[in-house]
Chains A and B, each alone.
Chain A
Amino acid sequence: MYRDVPALELRGLTKRYDESILALEDFDLRIPAGSFFGLLGPNGAGKTTLISAVCNLIRVTAGEIRVFGEPHDSMEARRSVGLAEQDINLDRFLTVRETLTYHGGYFGMDEPHERADELIAAFGLEAKRDVRAPRLSGGQRRRLLLARALMHHPRLVILDEPTAGVDFELRQDLWRYIRRLHEDGTTILLTTHYLEEAEELCDEIALIRDGHLVARDSADGLRAHFGVERLQDVYVKAMAG
């Protein structure tokens, strides 16, 4: 039923940082429920700012954000979103299992232990369940970050460059898991610098530059619109303005 309501709707979203940098300007976006949506753009385009605004991690200058029809700062909307940030931001005092159970608790789960064990198994972290985050390898931290984002069964999962700097095998593993998640009905918003990743995974791709939406369509639609054969060429043309 909730598929009638967009998973994410931004209207006139503007964010100006204290140093007067305009990261997003009058940005409109509507992401249908159940879609796999890619956000592409160079560094500084405003992708992370957009995600941070949705997740209540920055103060919005102007505009409206709705998550499944609810204001983004409402408790209901917050519960609906799972975020895996670009940078590893794990609590250094907690073990793998504690990281997941405490996150579940913060997001309102009464009994998060079973779910934590399920995700530890799903992400191959059994041997590290009682190890603190700083002692994990880079790949294990990346897995834990994704597991944490999924812990509370969010309906909208936001992945900010989840495969940046990970090896080929882990990237394949993460793709497999994300795909399965999407097949189960979860809406995914993915930002990435890897064009093949966006093409492989996303139903629809939005190109963003200097805080503005440049184009949005399926990979095929973008190629047709820009009159080129490869997504790389779409990207180059779009970013060249």
Chain B
Amino acid sequence: MTPFVWLCKRETLRVSKLWTQTVLAPVVSSILFILVFGLSLGGRIKGVGGLDYEVFIVPGLITMAMVQAAYANNASTIFQARFDRYVNDVLSAPMPSWQMTVGYTIGGVFRAVAIGASLLVLALVLVSVPVERPFALAAAVALGLALFSSLGLVVGIYADTWDFTTFISNIVILPLVFVGGVFYSVDVLPSPWEELSHFNPLFYLVNAVRFGFLGTSDVSVWLSLGVTAALAIPACVWAQYLFRSGRRLKA
């Protein structure tokens, strides 16, 4: 297992060395959302489902910060390694392909958990957010991170330019998370927007995490976890296929 452990260490070291960019910056921007939308404007907004607005938005904001970090970290680490060709050091090593896949995934998971844990502590201090269903929360976070860490790897392996990795983040992931009910309950949307929201896969992840924190969500937690798992499994398999076959990694 030694090669695998060293790859995991390398991926977490990269996050630690760049901690102001990788952890501090997303924590600060998420806290600003809580301060501006929650504490400042939240007083003018009626609570959602019996919850104070500043408490209601915390799970969605944590989800948004974590999935973006998991994606961005892994897309950039593998793209950079391909671009500078130091990925060859790993590809030639005595390491089974699944260890390469998991090793490269770990960086995104580590970064996302560092951000999520920091935000949780700050949210507890600022708005006393509860954690009603810790096991559901853990399951939702694990599936969400598996999905977005793997997606980051896949995009980073296919990308020909740096812009492509950020394009997916800014044009696909961020809008889907925003309209996935981070700032509102989809129940308040008029038809057909409420129905359309159910086709947004990020809606289920946000709701699964919200259920873990607050004990309530717009849809069944089992449906939310099921949809997230149904996306996470193919993403993990796709990433593993790329490392196993060498497609896009080896000429």
With A56-B91, A107-B94, A108-B94 known as contacts, the answer to whether A92 contacts B84 (CB < 8 A) is yes
User: What's the dominant secondary structure at chain B's contact region?
Assistant: helix
* B3 located at the interface, meaning its Cβ lies under 8 Å from any Cβ of chain A in the complex: yes
Q: How far is the CB of B2 from chain A (nearest CB, A)?
A: 5
* Pair A107/B3 contact, Cβ less than 8 Å: yes
With A and B bound together, what is the CA distance between A95 and B93 in angstroms? 20
Residue A117 CB within 8 A of the other chain? no
Q: Which of A80-88, A168-176, A218-226, A232-240 contacts B (4 or more CB under 8 A)?
A: A80-88
Whether the pair A91, B6 counts as a contact (CB closer than 8 A) is: no
Decide if A109 is an interface residue (CB 8 Å cutoff): yes
Q: How far is the CA of A115 from the CA of B9 in the complex (A)?
A: 19
Is A79 interfacial (CB-CB < 8 Å)? Answer: yes
- Which chain B residues lie closer than 8 Å to A89 at the CB level? 84-86, 88-89
The contact of A108 among B2, B14, B92, by CB within 8 Å, is B2
B93 touches A107 (CB 8 A): yes
Set of chain A residues within 8 Å of B90, measured between Cβ atoms: 106
Contact B2 A109 (CB under 8 A): yes
With contacts A93-B13, A93-B14, A106-B3 taken as known, whether A85 is within 8 angstroms of B88 at the C-beta atoms is yes
CB–CB B246/A91 < 8 A? no
> Interface size class for chain A?
20 to 34
Chain A residues near B94 (CB, 8 Å)? 75-76, 78-79, 107-108
A90-B251 contact in complex given A78-B93, A109-B2, A110-B2, C-beta closer than 8 Å: no
Say whether chain A's binding surface is mostly helix, strand, loop, or mixed. Answer: loop
Kindly identify, within residues 86 to 110 of chain B, every residue whose CB is under 8 Å from any CB belonging to chain A: 86, 88-96
Interface set, chain A 52-110, CB cutoff 8 A to B = 52, 55-59, 75-76, 78-79, 81, 83, 85, 87, 89-94, 98, 102-103, 105-110
CB contacts under 8 Å to A, within B107-124, are none
Does B133 lie at the interface of the complex (its beta carbon under 8 Å from any beta carbon of A)?
Answer: no
**Cβ contact of A106, chosen from B14, B80, B95, B250, cutoff 8 A:** B95
User: How far is B86's CA from A105's CA once the two chains are assembled, in angstroms?
Assistant: 15
| A200 touches B (CB below 8 Å) | no
Is A57 in contact with B88, judged by CB distance below 8 angstroms?
A: yes
Q: Are B5 and A105 in contact (CB under 8 A)?
A: yes
What are the residues of chain B within 8 A of A110 when measuring CB–CB? 2
A106 to B89, CA, bound (A): 8
B92 touches A92 (CB 8 A): no
The CA of A184 and the CA of B6, in the complex, are separated in Å by 29
Q: Sample 25 A-B pairs with CB under 8 A, ordered by A number.
A: A55-B88, A55-B92, A57-B88, A57-B92, A57-B251, A75-B95, A76-B94, A78-B92, A78-B93, A85-B85, A85-B88, A89-B85, A90-B86, A91-B10, A91-B81, A91-B84, A91-B89, A92-B80, A98-B13, A102-B6, A105-B7, A106-B93, A106-B95, A107-B94, A110-B2
Chain B residues near A (Cβ < 8 Å): 2-3, 5-7, 9-10, 13-14, 17-18, 80-81, 84-86, 88-96, 245-246, 250-251
What are the 4 closest A-B residue pairs judged by CB atoms, nearest first? Answer: A105-B6, A89-B85, A75-B94, A106-B93
